[in-house]
Structure formats: structure tokens, C-alpha cells
Structure 1
Amino acid sequence: MGQPDFELVIGDKNWSSWSLRPWLAMKVAGIPFREIEIRLRQEDTKAQALRHSPSGFIPVLKWQGNAIWDSLAISETLADLFPEKKLWPEDPVARAMARSAAAEMHSGFPDLRRDMSMDIVSRLPGEGHSEGALANARRVVELWGSLRARFGRAAAGDQGFLFGHFTIADAMYAPVVTRFRTYGVDVSKLGDNDGTARAYMDLMLGLPAVLEWEEGARKQMAARTA
């Protein structure tokens, strides 16, 4: 078997939520790639990133001599290159809603990002529960519930994802699922009256690709402290 056509440059798996998103999309879709890791929070992190990324930020997808930066742009590129993977829903309305949900995650929820940053290996119940972060979390729970009710449960062969089958929208919200676990967010107190959000979290946390990412995070953090 030859070398994969794609190289994905990512940051530390414990912290890099933006790296998790395209990595997870590629893993679940079965798109082969070579992984290049850059250690974050180091004096030379920016210099290392600039070797791969014109923006100096990661993740970056390297493909045919091109560097595609930004998680959402990478995911859109993959959806264009592999339409058979159905990384967006096929129905135009569902696809528009999936893009809206992904874009909201991409540009929104600033308090949640700041106060409950991704930390895969830690368990910090109660920390980061600022008013703004919990308001953001409540919106996430509302969004998950509405998408599952309108699209997920109505999809043929519903697998429990936001739109029935795994899409980029799920990849975009995967880091939020880990945040809720890390910081002990009780979704039942944020509007999850029927358990939809809890069931979605359990599904996402049990995905083999998510478990693989978590194992990588644990190994990296152990190596840092060795």
C-alpha cells in the first residue's frame, strides 16, 4: 500500500480541540492520512506551525502540495473530495442546518471556550461553570435536542448522531462533549429533559475514533511528565 495522499498536522491531543475535529472526520469516514504532531505551549510552537501552515495555526491538511488550514475549511474540502462519505447530509435542508450548526460552533460559544477549555485527561467537576459558559452550554443542549428531533430520529437507519449518520456537525461538537465530561456539566439541568443530550454524549464518547484520540492524549501527557 502506498503512502496516503493526506498529511494532517495537529496539536497535542489533550488540548487541541480544533485538531480533533478534522482528525475525527477523517477517522470515522475512513480516509487514510499521515499524522504530524506539533507540541503546543512550547517556545517554538509557532515556528513549528509555520513550517506547515501559512497562517501559523493548526490543524493543517497537506494535500497535493497545498496547505488547507482551519478545521471547517479542511472538513469542507474532505466533503468535496469524498462525496460518497456523506460528510454532510444529502437532503438540502438538512445539509443547510448541519452547516449552520457547524458554523455556530466554529464562531460562537466564546465563554464556553474560555472557561471550559478542552482537557481530555483531566476531571474538573464544577470548574469553569461561569454564567456565560453555562448559557453557552444550554444553547448547545438545545441545539443537540432540536437537531436530533427534527433530523436525526427521522433519518433512515438512524445511528444516534445529530443527523442520523455521522457528519461534520458531529465532528465539530465532539470537543464540547469532552468538555462537558471534564467539567462535570449536568445536561439534565440545562434543558435535557428527555435525555437526548446525555445519550448523544454517550454515543460520541464511545466512538472507537474518540477512544483512540483519548488514548493518544493520555500517552502524550504521560510523556510530558515523565
Structure 2
Amino acid sequence: MTEATLLISSKNYSSWSLRGYLLAKLSGIDFAEERVSPDDPRAKEELLMRTSSILVPCLLHGDVTVWDTLAIAEYLNELFPEALMLPTDKVARARCRSISGEMHSGFAALRSSLPMNLRFRKPGFTVWSSAQADIDRITTIWTDCLTTWKGPFLFGRRPTIADAMYAPVVARFLSYDVAVGPVCQDYCDTIMKWGPMKEWVADSREEPQEIIELDLDF
């Protein structure tokens, strides 16, 4: 019998569900996935990209129910400290929490202009200036971390909570043909080759197209 259940929504469209999945994989917890229909109110808000304060993903663990990706991250880190979901160094740990929080609460223009769609490819996509400002900030964060902690993940050789938080951004950059410098491109390649990310992307290919594709020619 599995130890926990992770409620998720669409694997193709749901950036927050992807974060929850990567966090669970990072922790090593034994879990089963349970998919919530896009028609369920818990998932609909997320798929419409209206808010980050949603109830999917949600981790069910015994008599504990945890929603919100950062809450799930902190809960799993407490349960499995040996998984090193946060860096061991105090300075790195503080930075990891800071940039994870920034991803959690910020980058609204990027979210609305470049919604996650793993099946989507748009060569030469025109990025609006507001979304470009978010992209510039994200690549600055990545470059700083990769330069300081030497990669290939943001805080060194092992993936952390921050990598789980930024992985959907990597997928967005790939979908919308966002050009980044060589340091950030190496990081994007690392994330897309990360085992749990590859599993999620492969599963997304098998998912029925249950919601109408968004018109992205704006």
C-alpha cells in the first residue's frame, strides 16, 4: 500500500501539478497519483491560470492534507531531511527558499502570456515586453545561482526545491522558443533530462486533450 496520494490535474497543462510531482519525487516518499478532472473546481482555476493559490496539487498523507506547493515542499522536507530537498549550506538554503517563494508568488505576466502546454511548439513566438521582463529576471536568478553554486542544478550537483519550482518555466521556454544564454540553456537541458521530468513529459503525451487549446497568436 502506498504511503501517500498526490492529487494532480492535467499533466500537459498543469504547472503546479508538475511542481507537486517533482517535490514528491525529490523527497522519495512512496506515493500514488490521483488525477482530478479539469471540470472539478479544484483544478479549473489552475487551468485557467487565474491564481497560484489553488488546491491542486494536494498531498494526502495519513491524516494530514497539504495543499500549496511550498507547503508541500516544507512538509516533505521535514519528513525526509535525508533527501536534502534544501541545500545544506545556510546561505544557499536561504537563497533557495527566497527564489522558490519568488516563483510561487510572482511572474504573473509570464504565466498569462506563456501558459504551460507541453505539446505546444511555436518557433519565433513574439514575447510581450511584460513577459520579457519576467524572463529577464528568471534568467538572472538562474545565472547567479549556476555561477555561484557551479551547477548543473541551481544549487549544485543535486536538484532542490528550487529546481522543482522552476522546471515548468523551462518547459514554457521550450514551448515558446524563448532564447536564453548558454549557461541558462545548459540548465534547461539539465532539467529536461532530469528523470522525474522526463517521466512527467512522457505521461503528458498519453493524456487526452480534454480542454480546448488556447489561441496563442497574440
TM-score norm. by structure 1 comes to 0.84
- In the alignment, what sits opposite 1:170? 163
The more displaced of 93-102 and 26-35 is 26-35
> Please, which of 202, 213, 217 is the counterpart of residue 215 of structure 1?
202
Counterpart secondary structure, 1:4: coil
Segments of 5+ residues of structure 2 without an aligned counterpart are 45-52, 213-218
**Which deviations, in whole Å up to 9, do the C-alpha atoms of 1:123-176 show, x marking residues without a partner?**
12344611111110111111100011112x1xxxx6x10001110000000000
Give the match's secondary structure for 1:7: strand
Alignment correspondent of 1:76: 74
Whether the 8 Å contact between 2:191 and 2:197 is mirrored in structure 1 is yes
Using the alignment, how far apart are the partners of 1:128 and 1:59 within structure 2? 31
CA RMSD of aligned residues (A): 2.0
1:205 is paired with a residue whose SS is helix
Q: Decide whether the 8 Å contact of 2:27 with 2:76 is kept in 1.
A: no
CA deviations over 1:31-64 (Å, ceiling 9, x no partner): 2101000122x2xx11789xxxxx8621100012
Identity, in percent, stands at 39
Deviations 1:107-126 (A, max 9, x none): 11110000001101111234
CA distance in 2, matches of 1:139, 1:102: 13
What is the one-letter code of the residue matched to 1:221?
P
Match of 1:106 in 2: 104
Contact 1:46/1:56 (8 A) holds in 2: no
User: Which residue number corresponds to residue 41 of structure 2?
Assistant: 46
**Distance (whole Å) between structure 2 residues aligned to residue 166 and residue 47 of structure 1:** 29
Q: Which residue does the alignment assign to 2:24?
A: 26
> Unaligned stretches of 5+ in structure 1?
50-54
C-alpha distance in 2 between matches for 1:213 and 1:56:
20
Q: Is the 8 A contact 1:115 1:128 kept in 2?
A: no
Divergent runs of 4+, >6 A: none
How far residue 224 of structure 1 moved from its aligned partner, in angstroms, is 7.7
Structure 1 Cα separation of the partners of residues 43 and 168 of structure 2: 24
Say if 2:3 and 2:29, in contact at 8 Å, map to a contact too.
Answer: no
Q: Which residue pairs with 1:184 in the alignment?
A: 177
What are the equivalent positions in structure 2 for 1:46-195 lying under 5 Å apart?
46=41, 57-127=55-125, 129-151=127-149, 153=150, 160-164=152-156, 165-187=158-180, 192=181, 195=182
Q: Is the 8 A contact 1:120 1:182 kept in 2?
A: yes
What is the SS of the residue equivalent to 2:7?
A: strand
CA distance in 1, matches of 2:100, 2:211: 32
Contact 1:125 1:183 in 2 (8 A): yes
Query: For residues 3 and 98 of structure 2, what CA distance do their matches in structure 1 show?
Result: 29
Counterpart-to-counterpart distance in 1, 2:211 and 2:129: 33
User: Does the CA-based 8 Å contact 1:116-1:128 persist in structure 2?
Assistant: no
CA contact (8 A) 2:6 2:32 kept: yes
The one-letter amino acid of 2:41's match is: K
Whole-Å separation in 1 of the counterparts to 2:101 and 2:137:
14
Q: Distance in 2 between matches of 1:48 and 1:201?
A: 27
For 2:99, the aligned partner's letter is A
Length, aligned pairs only = 203
C-alpha separation between the residues in 1 aligned to 2:135 and 2:107?
8
So what's the TM-score if we normalise by structure 2?
0.87
